[in-house]
Amino acid sequence: MSPLAAGAAAAAASVPGALARVDTLSGLLGAGLLLALLGLWLFRRVSLRLRRRLAAAQGQLEALRTHDPLTGLLTRQALEAGLEAATRACDDGRRRLALLYVGLDNFRSVNDSDGPGAGDAVLVEAGRRLAALPGPAPVAARVAGDEFALLVEADRERAWLAAAEVIALLSRPYRVEGREHELTASVGIAVYPDDGSRPRLLAHAALAMRAVKRGGGGAHACYDPALSVDRREQSELLQDLRHALERGELQLYYQPKIDARSLQVTAAEALLRWQHPRRGMISPLIFVPLAEQHGLIGTIGRWVIEEACRQAALWRGRGLRMRVAVNLSPHQLRQDDLVPYIEATLARHGIPPSRLTCEITETVAVEDTEVTRRAFERMRRAGLHVSIDDFGTGQSSLATVRRLPAAELKIDRAFVADLASAKARTIVQTIVKMAHDLGMRVVAEGVETEAQRDLLVEMGCDELQGFLFARPMTATAIALWADDDGDEGQRGFRDSLFAPTLPAPLDLPAAYAALPGAGGAG
């Protein structure tokens, strides 16, 4: 046998044994591999499950970060994160984005009286109403306990109307477990880009909302840069306000109300101004809330009444028979001696009570508290002329208005500003009809254009007030205006101002053509 063949034979003879060894080895290897694969599979399964769980947890966390678990609305973080993209679309200056910061008034009373469960139910319902706001879908967020924010594509006028709508929606009763809760809302508006850069927008809207709350709530206001005074400045301002009266820095400006038919001046509304020695003229929207918050409004309010009556007496001395109107703050209404004080002041200056108008904002007027009711009853008995200011922003029903001894309704200027919209026109028309049915006169405030004036006259408004006719001005300016007979444009005003307010024959086109300073006198 050749070595080759022997080798081959030997090799052939050893094959089965080798094969058997290989079998065992590969079996072992296979089992090991299988085990390893199984392990790997198990590991992958476990880690997949873990990853899934992690992802779910992460998702939940994200959801918590982006969505408020109670109301399902966006969170503050999510709202702020989205603002970047949303505002970028407005950077070309052609579009406006409005941020409405909404705070529920008296929310704490629900928690206190019926427990946190009831409070939660009210928040859920409030969130639902906000998310369902009619019109272009807003972005709604819950930004703090009882505070919400709405982002809408709107300019200032539209935002103003949307805010009124929000207040109306949130002021409807909340029914929780058979109990009814009545809340109101305060809204602050900041418009991008006019009212601040993106990072400041939410803070600015919140500042405006807080100013509304300080004024008694239930209303809306736009952001004003003066609101941004920081705490130190705020306390400085307060310090200065404490001395403003004695230093003679407070002043009353007067803005006429014009009879829509005769164009005679029927009344002059006293509007407070603060001539600050360093800051210049400060709006009452800034310092009246500050005065209310820090117990100064009683003194300031009395001064307003005294000063307005003194001025009315001077005007009467010159043959001017118009009413003088003062604005009363909610805090004043709560003072028991308010009406006796007004009566005494009127008597001292020889003014009949019916010649003084007390303007009270609608939201305060319809407050059904015992105090408000008593104040109104006293005013009625005293024979004062009561006017419901900023009407249309609150949620007054016909029945509530009927109960009040008011002789005048002032349609809020937001509706006047939006008369181009059919909806606002319908609202104004309804208010006019309702007021007339109740025997009240209707004043439209904030009339700025001739188109608004014509529509309001057509709709039956009795009196008009606004920059179109005259801006608020000092008592001296009114007197000078009246005395100045060299200016053709002002003569018409002078004549009507000093004429008794008797109805004149109706000649609308001619009368309006002769109107002084049709572009905004004063």
Binding stretches for ligand C2E (CB under 6 A): 255, 271-272, 283-285, 288, 304, 327-329, 359, 389-390, 413, 445-448, 466-467, 472
Q: Cβ of residue 113: shortest distance to Mg ion, in angstroms?
A: 33
- The Cα 163–Cα 186 span in angstroms is 9
Closest to ligand C2E by CB, 7 vs 519, is: 519
259 scored as a contact of Mg ion (CB under 5 A) = no
Q: Are 253 and 271 in contact (CB under 8 A)?
A: yes
Give the shortest CB-517-to-ligand C2E separation in angstroms: 13
Question: Nearest approach, Cβ of 469 to ligand C2E (angstroms)?
Answer: 8
Among 146, 390, 418, 463, binds Mg ion (CB under 5 A): 390
Residue selected from 389, 408, 462, 463 as contacting Mg ion according to rule CB under 5 A: 389
User: Does residue 165 bind Mg ion (CB under 5 A)?
Assistant: no
For residue 359, state whether it binds Mg ion (rule: CB under 5 A): yes
Distance CA 204, CA 485 (A): 46
Among positions 332-351, residues that touch Mg ion (CB under 5 A) are none
Stretch that binds Mg ion, among 84-92, 258-266, 416-424, 443-451 (CB under 5 A): 443-451
**Neighbour-count burial for 219-243, b at 16+ CB within 10 Å, e otherwise:** bbbbbeebbeeeeeeeeebeebbee
We find the least distance from the C-beta atom of residue 436 to ligand C2E, in angstroms, to be 21
Interface positions, 289-328, toward Mg ion (CB under 5 A): 327
Q: Considering beta carbons, is residue 255 or 396 the nearer one to ligand C2E?
A: 255
CB of 468: closest distance to ligand C2E in angstroms?
A: 6
Choice between 119 and 472, CB closer to ligand C2E: 472
166 or 325: whose CB is closer to ligand C2E? 325
Structure tokens at 231: 């705490």
The Cα–Cα gap between 36 and 22 comes to 20
What does the block give as tokens for 132?
A: 């369902």
Q: Is 457 helix (H, G, I), strand (E, B) or coil?
A: helix
Q: Give the whole-angstrom CA distance, residue 107 versus residue 148.
A: 13
List the single partner that 283 binds among Mg ion, ligand C2E, none, CB under 5 to 8 Å by kind: ligand C2E
Nearer to ligand C2E, 75 or 327 (CB): 327
Token pair 């303007």 is found at: 359
* Residue closer to ligand C2E, measured from CB, 258 or 447: 447
**Minimum CB separation from ligand C2E for residue 412, in Å?**
8
Q: Which is nearer to Mg ion, 146 or 269 (CB)?
A: 269
2-23: b or e for each residue (b if 16 or more CB lie within 10 Å)?
Answer: eeeeeeeeeeeeeeeeeeeeee
If the CB atoms of residues 138 and 218 are measured against ligand C2E, the closer one turns out to be 218
Distance in Å, CB of 270 to Mg ion, minimum:
9
Does 195 bind Mg ion (CB under 5 A)? Our answer is no
Give min distance, CB of 267 to Mg ion, in A. 11
Residue 522 contact, options ligand C2E, Mg ion, none, Cβ 5-8 Å cut-off depending on partner type: none
Q: Would you say 300 and 307 are in contact if contact means Cβ atoms under 8 Å apart?
A: no
Strand-pairing partners, residue 325, are 269, 357
Of residues 205 and 333, the one with the C-beta less far from ligand C2E? 333
* C-alpha closest to that of 274 among 286, 292, 266, 265: 286
Closest C-alpha among 188, 224, 253, 260 to residue 447: 260
Cα 182 to Cα 231: distance, rounded to the nearest angstrom = 33
Residue 329 contact, options Mg ion, ligand C2E, none, Cβ 5-8 Å cut-off depending on partner type: ligand C2E
Q: CA 105: distance to chain centroid?
A: 12
* φ, ψ (nearest 5 deg) of residue 275: -90, 95
- Number of residues this chain uses to bind Mg ion (CB under 5 A): 5
Sheet holding 139-144, edge to edge: 74-75, 139-144, 147-153, 97-105, 184-192, 220-222
CB of 423 to Mg ion, least distance (A): 20
- Residues within the interface to Mg ion (CB under 5 A): 327, 359, 389-390, 445
